[in-house]
A and B are shown apart, each in its own frame.
Chain A
């Protein structure tokens, strides 16, 4: 299922990072933050994390699971996975085009 990529404004990048983080399985908030930081080398604040999570949950791209030891994990929904795939394909095409214009080639 594909559709218009939702507008997240200044939370677009955090939202994408969260979706990627959840793509390999459910995680709670702190685990998402650690995963994003290890992948990007930049910290993600708790305020930013939850602002993006609220939006993602409202749009049905992620869903909250029952709490485990008071921590609530989130997982990617089917719609979320589809949306993420569409975004990543778009970014990949954009990156390929950019690299071609720079005169580099990627296999």
Chain B
């Protein structure tokens, strides 16, 4: 256990402190507190060696999650645009469906990373709200990726995988959960008042439009006159919302998060 814990530290750190640290760890029994403390210390060592100097681990650590979340949200927005626009243009044809699926899967992964980064930052002030709003889209993302993997593994999108549901159905359910969850995340972002409220509002409305658009298109529920408008709104608003949150996150990080710093107890 002790050697495993020490292995969590960077190699450069271990070269300097590893031997004496191992002796300190061996001086008394390791309880859960000690293990958690060492793991946090390992995380700190990794962040510290990336040039964070003597500054607050909280400040710089959260800057990193904000930066990662910001870039992922922008990338996710772009990929969602490609996937949604591609799907709308392709209109269900087999040809070209492959790259649309790839764009969609990449968008899901990017959105998951964005959710992790942005939630970690916002949760500092509103932990319960933000993590609850993170859970729904995160579960949706994981479910959709599972469905996609199941399709790829079975080679048959219609084959039943779990509970009579095919890989395609599972993936679709997951994407729906991700989109609905994005709306919840947008609501949490509006309440948290940390990132751009305009981008959050765009994401929230865009999530609703995407669900309406997908239901309307696949279920034929929308009047034909409205279908085009909903599809355009769906293709633009949802991706723009994510990209907007990403830009807001990067601006906040570059500004040095003065309002955030003041919130640290």
Which interface residue of A10, A33, A59 has the most chain B CB atoms within 10 A?
Answer: A10
Which interface residue of B24, B36, B38, B45 has the most chain A CB atoms within 10 A?
Answer: B24
Known A-B contacts A29-B21, A71-B20; the reply to A51 vs B54 at CB < 8 A is no
Distance in angstroms between the alpha carbons of A51 and B41 in the assembled complex: 6
Determine whether B123 belongs to the interface, using a CB cutoff of 8 Å to chain A: no
Q: Is there an interface contact between B20 and A70, defined as CB atoms closer than 8 Å?
A: yes
Determine whether A94 belongs to the interface, using a CB cutoff of 8 Å to chain B: no
Q: Is there an interface contact between A10 and B57, defined as CB atoms closer than 8 Å?
A: yes
Which residues does chain A contribute within 8 Å of B53, judged by CB atoms? 58
Which residues does chain B contribute within 8 Å of A58, judged by CB atoms? 53-54
Distance in angstroms between the alpha carbons of A29 and B45 in the assembled complex: 17
Which residues does chain B contribute within 8 Å of A88, judged by CB atoms? none
Q: Is there an interface contact between B24 and A46, defined as CB atoms closer than 8 Å?
A: yes
Known A-B contacts A10-B58, A45-B37, A46-B37; the reply to A54 vs B20 at CB < 8 A is no
Q: Is the interface of B mostly helix, strand, loop or mixed?
A: helix
Which residues does chain A contribute within 8 Å of B34, judged by CB atoms? 45-47
Can you sample 16 A-B contacts with CB below 8 Å?
A: A6-B54, A9-B58, A9-B59, A10-B58, A29-B23, A43-B33, A45-B33, A47-B34, A47-B42, A50-B17, A51-B41, A51-B45, A54-B13, A54-B45, A58-B53, A67-B20
Determine whether B224 belongs to the interface, using a CB cutoff of 8 Å to chain A: no
For chain A, which range describes its interface: under 10, 10 to 19, 20 to 34, or 35 or more residues? 20 to 34
Distance in angstroms between the alpha carbons of A87 and B77 in the assembled complex: 48
State which of B19, B38, B48 has its C-beta within 8 Å of the C-beta of A46. Answer: B38
Could you mark each residue 26-53 of chain B with 1 if its beta carbon is under 8 Å from any beta carbon of chain A, else 0? Answer: 0110000110111111101100100001
Which residues does chain A contribute within 8 Å of B218, judged by CB atoms? none
Q: What are the 5 A-B residue pairs with the smallest beta carbon separation, nearest first?
A: A47-B41, A9-B56, A45-B37, A47-B37, A47-B38
* Residues from 41 to 74 in A contacting B, C-beta threshold 8 Å: 43, 45-51, 54-55, 58-59, 67, 70-72
Which residues does chain A contribute within 8 Å of B58, judged by CB atoms? 9-10
Give chain A's interface residues, CB within 8 Å of chain B.
Answer: 6-11, 28-30, 33, 43, 45-51, 54-55, 58-59, 67, 70-72
Distance in angstroms between the alpha carbons of A67 and B23 in the assembled complex: 12
Q: Is there an interface contact between A59 and B54, defined as CB atoms closer than 8 Å?
A: yes
State which of B37, B38, B56 has its C-beta within 8 Å of the C-beta of A10. Answer: B56
Q: Is there an interface contact between B24 and A33, defined as CB atoms closer than 8 Å?
A: yes
Distance in angstroms between the alpha carbons of A47 and B17 in the assembled complex: 11
State which of A7, A28, A47, A51 has its C-beta within 8 Å of the C-beta of B20. Answer: A28
Q: A59-B54, A70-B23 are in contact. List 11 more A-B contacts (CB 8 A).
A: A10-B58, A45-B33, A45-B36, A45-B38, A47-B34, A47-B37, A47-B39, A47-B40, A49-B24, A51-B57, A58-B53
Which interface residue of A7, A11, A45, A47 has the most chain B CB atoms within 10 A?
Answer: A47
Determine whether B233 belongs to the interface, using a CB cutoff of 8 Å to chain A: no
Determine whether B25 belongs to the interface, using a CB cutoff of 8 Å to chain A: yes
With both beta carbons as reference points, the residue of chain B lying nearest to A55 in the complex is identified as B54
With both beta carbons as reference points, the residue of chain A lying nearest to B55 in the complex is identified as A7
CB distance from B263 to the nearest CB of A (A): 14
CB distance from B65 to the nearest CB of A (A): 15
With both beta carbons as reference points, the residue of chain A lying nearest to B41 in the complex is identified as A47
Distance in angstroms between the alpha carbons of A8 and B58 in the assembled complex: 10
